[in-house]
Amino acid sequence: MSHLVSATELADLLREDAVRVIDVRWRLSAPGGGEMFDGRAEYLQGHIPGAVFADLEEELTRHGLPEEGRHPLPTTAQVQDAARRWGVNDGDLVVAYDDAGGLPAARAWWLLRQGGVDVRVLDGGWRAWQAAGGDIESGSVEYAPGAVTLHDVTGDSLTIDEAAAFPQTGVLLDVRAPERFRGETEPLDPIAGHIPGAVNLPTTRHVAEDGTLLDLETLRRSFAEVGVSDGTPVAAYCGSGITAAHTALVLAEAGIDAKIFHGSWSQWSNTPGHPVAVGD
């Protein structure tokens, strides 16, 4: 089963009233660094009909201490409350989209999937919807509260100690840009470098110019180049746990289950006593 839907497939689902759509537009305000960008204003200007705005910072992240990372995992109750606000009930299909190559939508996908929801990501996101000539509406959408009940949304997340030990038994993927992995620059966190034993595979390598995922053969070949294939224990981390969810989505699409170190480099670099590697 694919974890993605195309714009055409989503349009069909909307006509059948068989889906709940969430708009997860969020990104860094500038490539490589800067303040977080909330896409609510863009959502209000235009969104997929019936889509509810999902606030990544408030609903898909828990505010914590620096040593927990910049985007600590929310509690199950927090995500459940958000999903109910979106009007989700048990058994509903949810489709998440964004305008940033699927990265923030993948955060929603990962959490809801852990919670037991049937959830997909719109391949190509907002740009694909516009390119397909999909209908657009403006303003805010609200539904009567849903009654969905979620399982534990933190199940496949590694602790910092588990992440440290993971390269001994599997492949730990650092999915940030190569220059951040090598420790040449660090725009957001206090120390530059990477977790010892990690392998660099930027998640941007999985996305075509139009924002859709590359074909499965190319994806599997990319993973094989860093030692990941069927049956390989694999986990991903990034700067703060958002981008890592996208790599988990890509791996799932390729038929490979992955764990995520959600504290990621922001937690590692803010926790004294953890070694730092630089270079390739």
Residue 41's nearest CA partner among 23, 66, 63 is 23
Cα separation, 262 vs 242, in Å, equals 8
Sign (positive/negative) of CA torsion 196, 199, 200, 201? Answer: negative
The single residue of 19, 21, 238, 248 carrying the catalytic annotation is 238
Q: Which residue do the tokens 């694999």 mark?
A: 234
Question: Which DSSP string corresponds to 75-136?
Answer: PHHHHHHHHHHTT--TT-EEEEE-SSTTHHHHHHHHHHHHTT-EEEEETTHHHHHHHTT---
**Would you call 238 a catalytic residue per the annotation?**
yes
Q: List the beta bridge partners of residue 199.
A: 173
First to last CA, the chain: 36
Per residue in 161-193, is it b (16+ CB within 10 Å) or e — as a string? eebbebeeebbbbbbbbeebbbeeebeebeebb
Tokens of 186: 């660090």
Residues identified as active-site: 238
